[in-house]
Amino acid sequence: MRVGTFLPHMGPAATPETLLRFAQQAEALGYDSVWVAERLLYPLKPRTPYPGMPEGSLLPDYYRYVFQPIETLTWVAAHTKRIRIGTGVLNMPYHNPVVLARRLATLDVLSGGRLNVGLGQAWSQDELEAAGASPAGRAERADEFVAVLRAMWGPDPVEHHGRHFQIAASIIMPKPVQQPAPPIYMAGYVPGALDRVARLADGWLPAGIPLPGVQAMMGQVRQRAEAAGRDPSSLALVMMGFVALADAPLGEGRADFTGTLDEIRRDVEQAREIGVDELILIPDATANTTADAFLRVQEAVRPLV
């Protein structure tokens, strides 16, 4: 099982210097990958409740300051050599796939073929509105979005004529180092999202779902993949786990990857047993608000995997 971690690209710890310290230590410790998320706004009166928080409350405080994902990964890639870089996730409704495909291909070339592409559908009504994206028709647009990415990264001439996007026959450069394309992992947990993973993605990228739920839902993804004529075993399970260390055992009812190192180690073993291909361990940004705190968590949990 591979192991990844999240870069401290949001909240008080987010600085160019901290990003490099964290990424270079992750590489030295043998992590396989570093990841970033995407936030567009910090709405003062959010119309969409943040998961786990009461309706109408503000988003977590660390979302007040967030570096953009592609620029952050470019900075980190320039100062590392081996570790893979990933988006967890880019929200498709905020982007044009032609422009995004070129940006991601450039990043894959500059990093020497180290890019993982995580994609999602977004959840914030405020952010969707600011990006000029309509909630209506997002499923159909997402299917075509992925088709455009793969076309842009494929053989020339590239041409696409769909309902949402048009590409006249063109030469598109650069192409990604990774061929036929960088791996595409898709988030989401509703039936339509799982179906899209099964049909179009290289794997599923769940977050915030208990381990037994992940196992059951990945089984559904594989069944849907087989029904779509794909090899179910070709789909990777890349799971995000939010780490919160405690000095004393938390016992029954604790969230996965929280508690003492021994408790977290048991969760890591369970993740391995249910077939997780890559486990991304994310330091709790609420508890770890300084660069040193992020670095300590990163160092403490690495030997568990």
Q: What is the per-residue pLDDT across 276-302, written as a single tens digit (0 to 9) for each?
A: 999 999 998 888 888 899 999 999 999
Q: What does the alpha-carbon distance between residue 173 and residue 205 come to, in Å, rounded to a whole number?
A: 28
Residue 55: its pLDDT value, please?
A: 72
Q: What pTM was computed for the model?
A: 0.96
- What CATH number does the domain containing 230 carry? 3.20.20.30
Please, which residues bridge with residue 185 across strands?
118, 203
Domain that holds residue 124: 2-304
Q: What is the per-residue pLDDT across 242-279, written as a single tens digit (0 to 9) for each?
A: 999 999 999 999 999 999 999 999 999 999 999 999 99
Q: What is the per-residue pLDDT across 9-66, written as a single tens digit (0 to 9) for each?
A: 999 999 999 999 999 999 999 999 999 999 999 999 999 988 767 777 889 999 999 9
Tokens at residue 225, please?
């993949």
Residue 174: its pLDDT value, please?
A: 97
Q: What is the per-residue pLDDT across 158-181, written as a single tens digit (0 to 9) for each?
A: 999 999 999 999 999 999 999 999
Q: How many domains does the chain have?
A: 1
Within 8 A by CB and 6+ apart from 28, the residues are none
